[in-house]
Amino acid sequence: MRDDDRAAALLDWYDAHAREMPWRVGPAARRAGARPDPYHVWLSEIMLQQTTVAAVRDYFRAFVTKWPGVTDLAMAEDAEVMGAWAGLGYYARARNLLKCARIVATEYGGWFPDTHDALLKLPGIGPYTAAAVASIAFDRPETVVDGNVERVMARLFDVHTPLPTAKGELTELAAKLTPTTRPGDYAQAVMDLGATICTPRNPACGICPWSQGCAGRSAGHAESLPAKLPKTPKPVRLGYVYLVQRNDGAWLLETRPDKGLLGGMLGWPVSEWSENPVEDPPLAANWQDPGAEVRHTFTHFHLRLSVRTAVVSVEATPLRGRFVERGDFRPSDLPTLMRKAFDLASEAVAGN
């Protein structure tokens, strides 16, 4: 099958089977003249980094309801955006989201640049995101390669070089297939193919529009591709997390430094995270050990935090952080790690 015929076959399949997503302009709407909103495309692509479509849908809807355009987002308070992002993880994305929105609003008049190179200059936009926004929002013939596309290419061309070593090779193969006609729809079609047909396990080769000419399928080992290098075991770091409530109901919270994990997010005071952490409470108190431990996994390590709780008087002065009145405290504004600590501490107190 020629490359042009393969692209045409995939687009025909996409026209009939495209997934519905709140940020996507589907094939029927495109034929009727609708165009993707670059703000929606960019926002969804940032949210989808390291995150599933299912997890992103509600966050996306909430963001565009509260901030309908990039200028609205640019004018938002940092803490408000970070709170709305809580639970999505990889919080550097939220900080860069605001930086990017403010640059687009002030330097580009509220309009996103429409080329790969110009998009790359914006905070939080790497090669993949630049290609995705240029292709989907502006119909540029850019090659968009995510994990789904890598899997499809490895199987289609029977590539046995393991990932991540194979990334360059798979991108070159994907580039050969990228058409100049409807490149935005094509980019979404390949990703949909990987997400719904050419899945990691039990691919539905019998209904795949590219089943004819798939070298991996012909060789009988499509399901074992792409090959991957063995993962290095993640180290474990330990620490302490301190939940302090005043006797008037206020909670002691702190905003984490902009740089580093959970940067800019609201959370409980914590100690260092290391193999041998030292207790570092945020104020003098009658600290209790409820026997609870928070477990959380980051990209490069597993974290285990021992929970400490205390109730203090209204005269208590913390060494760091600030007390937030009970009516102003929303656990939903906390990142997942900190919500886990709150839930564990609440369960431990209720059980005593």
* pLDDT score of 235: 95
Do 183 and 268 reside in the same domain of the chain?
Answer: no
Do 241 and 315 reside in the same domain of the chain?
Answer: yes
Which of 224, 246, 280 is a domain's end point?
224
Q: What is the mean pLDDT of residues 220-232?
A: 91
Q: Indicate the average pLDDT of the chain.
A: 91
Among 92-106, 163-177, 293-307, 325-339, the least confident range? 325-339
pLDDT surpasses 60 at 120: yes
Residue 229 located in a structural domain:
no
Residue 230 located in a structural domain:
no
Q: What is the mean pLDDT of residues 196-214?
A: 94
- What is the extent of the structural domain holding 115? 3-224
Which of 167, 201, 224 is a domain's end point?
224
Do 21 and 152 reside in the same domain of the chain?
Answer: yes
Do 263 and 206 reside in the same domain of the chain?
Answer: no
Do 266 and 208 reside in the same domain of the chain?
Answer: no
Q: H-helix or E-strand containing 332?
A: none
Residue 264 located in a structural domain:
yes
Top pLDDT among 346 and 119 is at 119
Structure tokens that stand for 241 in this block: 């997390």
* pLDDT score of 348: 55
Residue 271 located in a structural domain:
yes
Among 41-55, 178-192, 336-350, the least confident range? 336-350
* pLDDT score of 18: 94
* pLDDT score of 1: 64
Q: What is the mean pLDDT of residues 250-266?
A: 85
Radius of gyration of the chain (CA): 24
Tens digit of each residue's pLDDT (9 = 90 or more) over 270-283: 999 999 999 999 99
pLDDT surpasses 50 at 351: no
User: CATH number for the domain including 133?
Assistant: 1.10.340.30
Do 14 and 87 reside in the same domain of the chain?
Answer: yes
Do 188 and 48 reside in the same domain of the chain?
Answer: yes
102: closest CA among 127, 130, 120, 123?
123
Tens digit of each residue's pLDDT (9 = 90 or more) over 182-204: 999 999 999 999 999 999 999 99
Residue 212 located in a structural domain:
yes
* pLDDT score of 182: 93
Do 214 and 253 reside in the same domain of the chain?
Answer: no
Q: Is 306 helix (H, G, I), strand (E, B) or coil?
A: strand
Please tell me which residue in 20, 45, 169, 272 is annotated as part of the active site. 45
Do 118 and 262 reside in the same domain of the chain?
Answer: no
Tens digit of each residue's pLDDT (9 = 90 or more) over 273-328: 999 999 999 999 999 998 889 999 988 899 999 999 999 999 999 999 999 998 88
Do 90 and 189 reside in the same domain of the chain?
Answer: yes
Do 48 and 190 reside in the same domain of the chain?
Answer: yes
Cβ-proximal residues to 231 (8 Å cutoff; 6+ apart), any chain: none
Helices of type H across the chain: 3-17, 27-31, 38-48, 53-66, 70-74, 78-85, 92-107, 116-120, 127-138, 147-156, 167-177, 183-196, 215-219, 336-351
Which of 178, 204, 224 is a domain's end point?
224
Top pLDDT among 209 and 87 is at 209
Q: What is the mean pLDDT of residues 106-130?
A: 95
Residue 13 located in a structural domain:
yes
Question: What CA–CA distance (Å, rounded) separates 338 from 261?
Answer: 12
User: CATH number for the domain including 240?
Assistant: 3.90.79.10
Question: What CA–CA distance (Å, rounded) separates 252 from 165?
Answer: 46
Residue 231 located in a structural domain:
no
Do 48 and 72 reside in the same domain of the chain?
Answer: yes
Q: What is the mean pLDDT of residues 125-142?
A: 95
Cβ-proximal residues to 281 (8 Å cutoff; 6+ apart), any chain: 240, 242, 269, 287, 308, 310
279 flagged as catalytic: no
Q: What is the mean pLDDT of residues 66-91?
A: 91
Cβ-proximal residues to 215 (8 Å cutoff; 6+ apart), any chain: 155, 156, 157, 158
Domain count, the chain: 2
Tens digit of each residue's pLDDT (9 = 90 or more) over 78-90: 889 988 998 888 8
Residue 121 located in a structural domain:
yes
Reported confidence tier of residue 352, pLDDT bands at 50, 70, 90: very low
